Structure 1
Amino acid sequence: MRRIISSIIMLSLITLISSRPGKAADAPGGKILIVHSYDRNFAWTADIHDALERMLSRRRIELRTVFMDANINRDEESLTAAGQKAAEMMRSFRPDVVIASDDDAQQYFAARFAGDSSAPALVFCGVNQDPARYGYPAFNVTGVVEKLAWSESLKLLRRLCPDVRRVAVLLDSRSSSLAAVGSMRASTPADIEAEWIIVDTYEKWRELIDASGSTHDALAITTCHGLTDAEGRIVPGPEVMHWTREHAGLPSVGFFDYTVADGALCGVIQTGFEHGTLAAGMALRILDGERAGDIPIVSTTQGLTMFNLKVARKLRIDIPEDLLQEAAALVE
């Protein structure tokens, strides 16, 4: 499965790197602090980090990394403490650039340094909220906004299932998940009846999946990494998606490579690797002398078409050859 995802990652990397001139490996280096909202084992974070390391290893750069584990420890006290730990690391390490991924790293750490002339340059990625919420842009800030390819994914789904009209959009209640709802509502086609359903527990998720066939034509799965079991423990996202793959009787779209790989039928997806590659490129430009605030914030990414052939067979959906040819990756 990871081999399939690696194919997507490499495609994104080659496309993105080929569009910007490289620097020699012996070019002047610097110091970069990476602060991730989530843990190292979360697929999205892992791909961002792998891309950052791949790009930044081309130069003599000293790296430090903090994982805030915000998807595991969601209480305010833990998040505040994790942000403080990142700030202490920044003050002791004294980096030239800080790269902060996803919204919790902005809210509990990076945002306080936006527009601070004594702070290092900041590059964000994976941000769902309006950057203005964190005081971005600022003279020392640039980055990559995460924007779900909602309308594009719906168009893709309807090329497979033209009769889709009623779509249940499932998401957990994390702030980064809720942030996507506004832009999705605004770009929903007029002939689509979309219902946004916030789910906090694994039990409720399974109930909704079991009942969805009588109320909707399709599912849109945004996020499922904040669901808890009966004991209040976070259920791993892949486990949720594997159950969904086996029990859902409706076609589904996902918006991330791991969502389609783990069980959604299809999607126009973005990858953490793409976000990491873009963020690393911005950091390198800053080390080469550009001011962060002069580098435009990127609000759209490339978007890649992806199909899960196992799910298609289960649902008895034939994917036309022309669509297969358009796909960046096929999950067997």
Structure 2
Amino acid sequence: MSKRLVIVLSLILLGISTILLLLKLLAPSDSNAPDSQNPQASSKKVLYIDAYHAGYQWGDKEFSGAQSVLSKAGITPKRVFLDSNRHTDDPFLTSRAEEIKNEIITYQPDVIISADDAPLKYVIMPFFKNTSLPVVFCGVNWDSSSYQTPYSNMTGMIEVSLVPELLTNIKTYAKGNRIGWIGGDVLTNRKEPVYIKKFYNISMLEKYPKTMAEFERDFESIQAVSDIVFFYNYAGIQDWDDAKAKEFIWSHTKKPTITTLDFMTPYVLLGYTKIAEEQGEWAATTALSILDGKLPSQIPESKNKKGQLFINLPIAKNLGIVFSSNLLKTAQVIKK
């Protein structure tokens, strides 16, 4: 090959390389790329303590909300489960909390997100209160002070039920003001009515079944002495069966029934529900602020504000209730 040809080929290759480099430099940047959000975020570690188990709808939706925010910053949170709905006894929860504590020590996260009441009670309060490890909680019902808060290293979002909105929508269809409460026998289900009664001056007869047989018995008996039944959550009913429960409830509902949890709306007449993703999104956004250098003590606690109306038409038909067209326009309607 002649010397002149070698020079020509070298110049061509150099030209191609220069063009490719210019194209790369001039290409539009991806505004959604992790580095454009926070150049250091992708190197940070977030550990997420889920109070429940994989497949439990509220917990999964909370985590989904958190994950959607963290993924945009290039962070994949490590998720661990306390499993407090399927195992309600103190010995199990104390032992599982010890395991989670050891996982945290080994993993060495930069921030912990603690979802719902049980992780705060069993993991954060005994092991990480006022330590140097930042904690963001979410989904803690009504008030965190029963867990000896505030902590210097923690902030969070309180979870409140949108009870005034719920009662405003149901009162037209009830024949009185007596309210019954039913839910599985777990910590959150027992804590919820304490604060509803405290903040809204409401009296309620309460039932906490542990099995499907107990639920069927209590569901019928509580309707006999109530005008409205608040069916909060089946968590804690150990042998709960969705199909069997829906068949029983639809055929045995005699009074208007209500809830504040979206996954409970197939079993009740009307729901004005909290949105689990709101909790997770807030916690993850706050965790990113902490990773950017803000102290937890500089971030005030917050409360959920978003809600969604649900109407169950099959149960309405069984009760002989016809909802107004205006209400139907604003609600998510369950037809089967």
Same fold (TM over 0.5): yes
**Matched ranges for 1:19-168 at <5 A:** 25-26=34-35, 27=38, 28-29=40-41, 30-112=44-126, 113-117=128-132, 120-128=133-141, 130-159=143-172, 161-168=173-180
Greater mean deviation of Cα atoms: 94-103 or 294-303:
294-303
**Matched ranges for 1:192-211 at <5 A:** 194-211=204-221
TM-score (norm 2): 0.82
Amino acid at match of 1:167: I
Which runs of structure 1 show a deviation greater than 4 angstroms over 4 or more consecutive aligned residues? 236-239
- Measured in 1, the distance between the counterparts of 2:255 and 2:107 equals 51
Contact 2:223 2:229 in 1 (8 A): no
Ranges in structure 2 where 5+ consecutive residues have no aligned partner: 1-30
How far residue 213 of structure 1 moved from its aligned partner, in angstroms, is 4.3
Write out per-residue CA displacement over residues 231-288 of structure 1, whole angstroms, 9 at most, x where no aligned residue: xxx425675455323321221001100011x211112210221211111111121112
Cα distance change of structure 1 residues 278 and 242 upon mapping to structure 2, 3 Å threshold? farther
Contact 1:225 1:236 in 2 (8 A): no
- 2:237 is the counterpart of 1:227: yes
Equivalent residue for 1:264? 268
Corresponding residue SS for 2:69: helix
Corresponding residue SS for 1:255: strand
RMSD value over aligned CA atoms? Answer: 2.2
How far residue 34 of structure 1 moved from its aligned partner, in angstroms, is 0.5
Contact 1:218 1:251 in 2 (8 A): yes
How far residue 96 of structure 1 moved from its aligned partner, in angstroms, is 0.9
The partner residue of 1:306 within 304, 310, 330 is 310
Contact 1:51 1:276 in 2 (8 A): yes
Cα distance change of structure 1 residues 81 and 241 upon mapping to structure 2, 3 Å threshold? farther
Equivalent residue for 1:182? 194
- 2:232 is the counterpart of 1:243: no
- Measured in 1, the distance between the counterparts of 2:48 and 2:56 equals 16
How far residue 56 of structure 1 moved from its aligned partner, in angstroms, is 0.9
- 2:284 is the counterpart of 1:280: yes
Ranked by relative contact order (alpha carbons within 8 Å, sequence separation 6 or more), the top structure is 1
Ranges in structure 1 where 5+ consecutive residues have no aligned partner: 1-21, 229-233
How many residue pairs end up in the alignment? Answer: 299
Equivalent residue for 1:330? 333
Cα distance change of structure 1 residues 310 and 285 upon mapping to structure 2, 3 Å threshold? farther
- Measured in 1, the distance between the counterparts of 2:231 and 2:157 equals 22
Contact 2:197 2:203 in 1 (8 A): no
Contact 1:127 1:145 in 2 (8 A): yes
Contact 1:33 1:95 in 2 (8 A): yes
Cα distance change of structure 1 residues 300 and 273 upon mapping to structure 2, 3 Å threshold? closer
- Measured in 1, the distance between the counterparts of 2:187 and 2:215 equals 18
Amino acid at match of 2:134: A
- Measured in 2, the distance between the counterparts of 1:131 and 1:89 equals 24
Corresponding residue SS for 1:169: strand
Contact 1:136 1:142 in 2 (8 A): no
Q: Which structure carries more helix by proportion?
A: 2
Corresponding residue SS for 1:71: coil
How far residue 71 of structure 1 moved from its aligned partner, in angstroms, is 1.1
TM-score (norm 1): 0.83
- Measured in 2, the distance between the counterparts of 1:68 and 1:128 equals 17
Q: Greater CA radius of gyration, 1 or 2?
A: 2
Equivalent residue for 2:25? none
Amino acid at match of 2:251: E
- Measured in 2, the distance between the counterparts of 1:116 and 1:132 equals 18
